[in-house]
Structure 1
Amino acid sequence: MLDLVKPFQAILPEIVVPARKLPFYDKIAYTVGIAITFFIMAGIPLYGAHASTSDPYSFTRAISASSHGTLMELGVGPMVTSGIIFQILGGFQALNVNFDIRADRELFQSGQKIFALLLTFFHAIFLVFFAQTYGTISTDSAVSELSLGAAVLIVAQLTAAGLVLILLGEIVDKGYSFGSGSGLFTALSVSQNFMWQNLALLKVHQEFVGSIPALLMGLWKNGLFNFGGSYRYVIENSFFRQNLPNLLQLYMSVAVFMLTIYLNTFRVDIPIKSSRVRSLATAFPVKLLYTGSMCLFLLSAFSQNVLIYSQSLYVQFPDNLMVQVLGSWGADGSPVGGIAYYISPNNFGYDVIKMVLYSVYTIVGCTLFSKYWAEISGSAPKDVAKQFQAQSIVIVGQRAQSAPRELAKVIPVAAAVGGAVVGAIVAFCDIFGGLGASAAPMIVAVTSMNNYFEILAQEGDIAQMGKAFGM
């Protein structure tokens, strides 16, 4: 299958791996440049589009690093989906690739990049022509909101932006920055959303969007700073106001932040030592959050794909029974029935059935994705045992041949339980805290920061980071 990629390698844009390890400050410069480019693209609206105020994909925006009605409409969704599919195919040896051979690795990466670009193109077509997200397309000029030329232009903009994002991600992945491209974009998106929800000074219906400015303005108007006035309404509105960020969501986000940091400390230490030289035993840590937030990336990408195709099919075939089972959509562009309704954390109200089904979907989905990602991503017990063998490491008190069996007692359990815990936190916050208090973006942000610190520690850049910040 990968042989089909070879003819395109010559014309496919590619980022060259740096000849040497870049200094810390050079990586900082690249990271800042990438972040600025990302924020600019996330702020440029699609030319010719009539974006609606309704956004059925709002709950995936932070994790997918996407922004409604802008060049970043699709975000890292196609990149993550492509990575998942190729990782699964490679893990189950459906692709004939040897990762120890450089040519095979480059071919695999080129195929993943091409597939991500194709997914971007097809997602753009579905959103524009099938779901008609940016305006109705019709042969009747009295009904049509979007001309064919404008529709084609929007698809071209989304595809070009997707290619730029793929190349920016490749710059990060090739060692010019820290961590992974998708992780960096998601961390930037989560940080931006958090700042916007709590500090934005934009006014909507005479209220500040940001929860903290809204509280301060309410206190000022009610005369509390002059030791008078009634504050009960101000406090209640600040904590429970609808359709705008509130303080309850802020406090829940902070609680999730602290809880995730605490959960990152849970681990099982497996004692190991070198079989070559006599040395003291050290520990191989298996964390509770063994796969980090990857299960949320996978679940978000899966949900986003289901919603895109469900909405696209329903607009074209609203009376088809199978399409209605996949999802029914209201006039405001939000799911009102079917699978799409039950997997999106919107409009719970008092719908107990949706609460239960959404909780089951989130918890089971995170559990399965976390468990199977550990198996196909090179983190399975047999893969870790091979790394031990290559480095002449043995588990204390065990023979080298028993390493896979001993690791299998811990790693799958940690992956599954960690995924279930993450899913339970996300489901609880989505149901009882409102969409703005979704725990998923905050968990992703914390695990991404933790990964960055681990990378900096491994590369010996912690001291330089301290000097950069005057510490």
Structure 2
Amino acid sequence: MSLVRELFSKMNRAIPEVEKPKQMPSLKEKLLWTAIVLLVYFFLTEVPLYGLPRGGLDYLAELRVIFAGAQGSIVELGIGPIVTAGIVLELLVGSKIIQLDLTDPEDRKFFQEAQRVAAIFFILFETSAYAIGGRFGSLTMEQTLLAIAQLSLGSFLLMMLDDLVSKWGIGSGISLFILAGVAQRVLWGALSPKTTQGRYVGVIPALLTEGAGALYRGYLPDLLGLIATFVVFIAVVWAYEVKINVPIAHTMYGGYRT
């Protein structure tokens, strides 16, 4: 096990890492770094994949908002490889296949190192499978390597941004990217002035032009979906804040209840 730890430690040192702050950043600094990361993320979602056809099947179309990816950009895979690496390691540790005590600082450090190495592995694995699997249609060898390189770069940059938010910003970069993707989609669905088949895509422009017809529009964003989104959001926030006091009886203290 010591040899495995040493191997992962060496591989982890070869991976670039964001330096930890020497002292706790102020709230203003955290907000600034979080905003910078958010702007960089939105910029990456607009960087298109170079030299690749636009055909092929989009396997992640329905999961795009969960993975915080952007179709046709270098971050098309989003946080998928990073999250997959974390889930796999958690399962291996939880099932005792890998013997680690995460309450022990040394084991916790090794777990974090292994997670970074595993993230690189899954980035290379998933981008290769994505490019070879027909997402961009039939590709030459040069185009396949180009797709793997660009998608890997995008996922790696997201991993670094997640590391930056964790150490210098507020919360988790992964949560931030998911929130940004959801907010972007909701705002686009509500305010988009783009038209298709003579109808506005955005709910608000459609409400102004179609009236009650904007309540339900089938394949287009509609008022019913927008209302449901806010209802679910409020319900989740309420459920998260609900606290229930459960009485506990201590038999060794004569049934004393707390």
Q: Distance in 2 between matches of 1:251 and 1:53?
A: 34
1:71 aligns with 2:48: no
Deviations 1:438-471, CA, capped at 9 Å, x for gaps: xxxxxxxxxxxxxxxxxxxxxxxxxxxxxxxxxx
* Residue among 135, 146, 150 paired with 1:157: 150
CA distance, structure 1, for counterparts of residue 197 and residue 173 of structure 2: 38
**Equivalences for residues 380-459 of structure 1 within 5 A:** 397=250
- 1:45 to 2:48 alignment: yes
**Secondary structure class of the residue paired with 2:245:** strand
Distance 1:18 1:396 in 2: 46
Aligned to 1:248: 224
Within the alignment, does 1:269 sit opposite 2:224 as a pair? no
Which runs of structure 2 are paired with 1:190-339 in the superposition (5 Å)?
190-218=182-210, 234-236=211-213, 238-270=214-246
SS of residue matched to 1:267 = coil
AA partner of residue 135 (structure 1): G
Letter in 2 for 1:198: A
SS at match of 1:268: coil
Could you tell me which of 32, 35, 44 is aligned with 2:35?
Answer: 32
Alpha-carbon contact 1:49-1:135 (below 8 Å) kept: no
1:135 to 134, 137, 162: 137
2:181 matched to 1:189? yes
In structure 2, stretches of 5+ residues that fail to align are none
Say if 2:70 and 2:76, in contact at 8 Å, map to a contact too.
yes
Distance 1:215 1:158 in 2: 39
Matches of 1:185 and 1:165, distance apart in 2: 9
Unaligned ranges ≥5, structure 1: 137-145, 219-233, 272-394, 401-405, 407-471
Contact between 1:120 and 1:162, CA under 8 Å: does it hold in 2? Answer: yes
Secondary structure class of the residue paired with 2:146 = helix
1:150-195 per-residue CA deviation (whole Å, 9 max, x = no partner) reads: 2211110010111111111112223x11122211111111111111
Deviations 1:17-71 (A, max 9, x none): 2222110000001100110111111111111222348644232111211111111
Asked if 1:18 corresponds to 2:47, the answer is no
Q: Which residue of 1 aligns with 2:63?
A: 60
- Classify 1:213/1:110 alpha carbon distance in 2 versus 1 (closer, same or farther; 3 Å): same
Q: Which amino acid aligns with 1:154?
A: A
Distance in structure 2 (CA, Å) of the matches to 1:14 and 1:169: 11
Question: How far apart in 2 are the matches of 1:59 and 1:207?
Answer: 23
Change (3 A) 1:105 1:115: same
Asked if the contact 1:66/1:72 (under 8 Å) is kept, the reply is yes
Name the amino acid aligned to 1:261.
V
Q: Distance in 2 between matches of 1:257 and 1:21?
A: 32
Residues in 2 aligned to 1:264 and 1:98: alpha-carbon distance in whole angstroms:
29
Matched residue of 1:133: which SS?
coil
Q: Distance in 1 between matches of 2:159 and 2:236?
A: 29
* Distance change >3 Å, CA 92–CA 18, structure 1 → 2: farther
Alpha-carbon distance, 1:103 to partner: 4.3
Between the aligned partners of 2:252 and 2:54, the Cα distance in structure 1 is 62
In structure 2, do the counterparts of structure 1 residues 8 and 265 end up closer, same or farther at CA, with 3 Å as the change threshold?
Answer: closer
What letter matches 1:14 in structure 2? Answer: E
Distance 1:43 1:117 in 2: 23
Instruction: Classify 1:243/1:52 alpha carbon distance in 2 versus 1 (closer, same or farther; 3 Å).
Output: farther
Letter in 1 for 2:93: G
Structure showing greater Rg: 1
Indicate the SS of the match to 2:244.
strand
Kept after mapping to 1: 8 A contact 2:30/2:169: yes
Equivalent position of 1:111 in the other structure: 114
Q: Deviations over 1:290-317 (max 9, x none)?
A: xxxxxxxxxxxxxxxxxxxxxxxxxxxx
Q: Which of the residues 173, 177, 184 maps onto 2:166?
A: 173
Q: 1:55 to 1:198 in 2, by over 3 A?
A: farther
Q: Is the 8 A contact 2:56 2:136 kept in 1?
A: no
TM-score w.r.t. length of structure 1: 0.49
Amino acid in the other structure paired with 2:233: F
Letter of the aligned partner of 1:164 in structure 2?
L
User: Root-mean-square deviation (CA), in Å?
Assistant: 2.4
Q: Equivalents in 2 of 1:202, 1:189: separation in Å? A: 19
**Normalised by the size of structure 2, how large is the TM-score?**
0.87
Are the counterparts in 1 of residues 101 and 107 from structure 2 also a CA contact under 8 Å? Answer: yes
Contact 2:12/2:116 (8 A) holds in 1: no
Question: What is the CA–CA distance in structure 1 between the aligned matches of 2:219 and 2:208, rounded to whole Å?
Answer: 19
Q: Which has the higher contact order (CA 8 A, sep 6+)?
A: 2
